[in-house]
Amino acid sequence: MQILKRIWTDEVVEFRGRLYSIPASKIGPKPVQKPHPTMLLGGFSPKTFSRIVNYADGWIPVAGFGPLEQLEQAINGLREGARKANKDPSKIRVFALTYPTVIDSSSSAQQRLPMTGTVDQIGTDINQTKAMGIEHIIFGHAFSPIGQDMKTMIEITKQLARFAK
């Protein structure tokens, strides 16, 4: 990640490390994003959070595979790690990937998993994630039956997107 940042920002890049070496080189073209593209890391461990604080711009967790309270605790822990490292916790960006499962009606017989339920129930989950500081949500439909029907996938995504604005 450090090498990529240097390639993207320095006019001449030279690096000698344990795993990689770059002789003095002009490498281009440079990205349009300044100073460089947003670098997000996935993962859910203290080592990942340390790498995010020290090298990346933010975190991209998967939302909905566990309680949203657990996700919120992780975000708070990540921001606390930034404070301990004398970094501005507000600079740590959080995006989320989620695989929503939309059903036609609510079922109160069993406990509902996050990002599962009616469009309105999932909308409530989206609002809860926004309140945690998640600034961008990516809807994935690859593991869902609607992922096989492009028209339905687009329609469901439009319905969910109104909550994400």
CA–CA dist 80, 97 (Å, integer) = 22
CA–CA dist 45, 148 (Å, integer) = 33
Q: Is 164 left (phi over 0), alpha (psi -120 to 50) or beta?
A: alpha
**How far is CA 160 from its chain centroid?**
17
First-to-last CA distance in the chain?
31
The β-bridge partners of 138 are 97
CA–CA dist 46, 70 (Å, integer) = 14
CATH architecture assigned to 38-164: Alpha-Beta Barrel (3.20)
Q: What is the pLDDT of residues 136-158, one digit of tens each?
A: 999 888 877 777 888 988 998 89
CA–CA dist 93, 134 (Å, integer) = 8
Domain boundaries, the chain: 1-33, 38-164
**Token pair in block for residue 7:** 């390639």
Q: What is the pLDDT of residues 25-55, one digit of tens each?
A: 999 999 999 999 999 999 988 899 999 999 9
Q: What is the pLDDT of residues 51-92, one digit of tens each?
A: 999 999 999 999 888 899 999 999 999 999 999 999 999 999
The β-bridge partners of 59 are 41, 94
> Residue 151: exposed, middle, or buried by beta-carbon count in 10 A (0-12, 13-18, 19+)?
exposed
The pTM of this model reads 0.85
Q: pLDDT value at position 104?
A: 76
Q: What is the pLDDT of residues 94-136, one digit of tens each?
A: 999 999 988 877 655 567 889 989 999 999 999 999 999 999 9
Q: What is the pLDDT of residues 2-23, one digit of tens each?
A: 899 999 999 999 999 899 899 9
